[in-house]
Amino acid sequence: MFRLDNKVCLITGGASGIGEAMAHVFSAQGGRVTVLDQKTGNLPHVTYQIADVTDAGAVREHVQQIEARERTIDVLVNCAGISHVGNVETTTSADMDRLFAVNVKGVFHCIQAVLPSMKKQKKGVILNLASIAASVGIADRFAYSMTKGAVYMMTLSVAKDYIQHGIRCNCISPARVHTPFVDGFLKANYPGQEKEMFEKLSKTQPIGRMAQPIEVAHLALYLCSDEAGFITGTDYPIDGGFIKLNS
């Protein structure tokens, strides 16, 4: 079950963190995986292409290269994204532009680029990475939450508009996930207090810990597999009880 044999999978932001875990799992399950990222990774049987998702022309060129090599694209996972800490007063216009360019327009560029191929073959799967921040208020995540809310609504819109073409579109909304970004954030902002702050952040999830990237990857695998063929237009929180059990 949950095989991706011979399915051509494009994963953005797949050189580290959650995206890297997805690239590993998808490849292990038979997918032919290409990663678009601003850096390369070291996973075997994965093709890496250096790309900036904020550049629509570059994204189209990369997608065309993949299609020329693989003939089609069956699965797109939009995992590339950046974070930001701040409220409405401390967020600058430049912050908003940067976050919108990557987290919103980057997703838009990739979806727009793969749709012609998916429409032609009358099937395809698009999976976007949203966040619990799209559903609940989180302190000092003003701009980041805005972008993830946009990703959520893009998911619903694409699912509605392309269901007749056999294209499914869903999103995943993780709570805190233990990635290198978290370690770097703690080191930069809480030097000498990393362990204490890590435990504090972990306990904001009722389950008492952060998710591991591989756990998010396993959910992504299911949603992109044929076994999830009846699922579209849905957001899947993977949050250790954060949304429902913290209220």
User: Which amino acid, 156?
Assistant: L
Q: What is the mean pLDDT of residues 223-238?
A: 98
Under a CB-based contact definition with an 8 Å cutoff, are residues 37 and 10 in contact?
no
pTM: 0.97
Mean pLDDT (the chain, rounded): 97
Domains and CATH numbers, the chain: 8-176+212-245 (3.40.50.720)
Residues 175-206 have pLDDT tens digits of 999 999 899 989 998 999 999 999 999 999 99
- pLDDT above 70: percentage of residues in the chain: 100
Lowest mean pLDDT among 9-23, 68-82, 94-108, 183-197: 183-197
Cβ-count burial of 10 within 10 angstroms (0-12 exposed, 13-18 middle, 19+ buried)? buried
Q: What is the mean pLDDT of residues 105-129?
A: 98
Residues 62-73 have pLDDT tens digits of 999 999 999 999
Report the SS3 class of residue 75.
strand
pLDDT (0 to 100) of residue 21: 98
Residue tagged active-site, from 144, 152, 162, 236:
144
pLDDT (0 to 100) of residue 114: 98
Beginning with the edge strand found earlier in the chain, give each strand of the sheet holding 8-12 in spatial order: 46-50, 32-37, 8-12, 75-78, 124-129, 167-174, 235-238
Q: Name the band, by pLDDT with cuts 50, 70 and 90, for residue 107.
A: very high
Torsion of CA 2, 228, 116, 41, to 10 degrees: -40
Give yes or no for residue 23 having a pLDDT over 90.
yes
Give yes or no for residue 164 having a pLDDT over 70.
yes
The residue with tokens 């233990």 is 178
CA–CA gap between residue 105 and residue 113 (Å, rounded): 12
**Is 144 an annotated catalytic residue?**
yes
pLDDT (0 to 100) of residue 68: 97
The residue with tokens 């601003």 is 38
pLDDT (0 to 100) of residue 247: 62
Radius of gyration (Cα) for the chain, nearest Å? 17
Torsion of CA 198, 83, 59, 164, to 10 degrees: 90
pLDDT (0 to 100) of residue 171: 98
Q: What is the mean pLDDT of residues 157-172?
A: 98
Give yes or no for residue 212 having a pLDDT over 90.
yes
Give yes or no for residue 26 having a pLDDT over 90.
yes
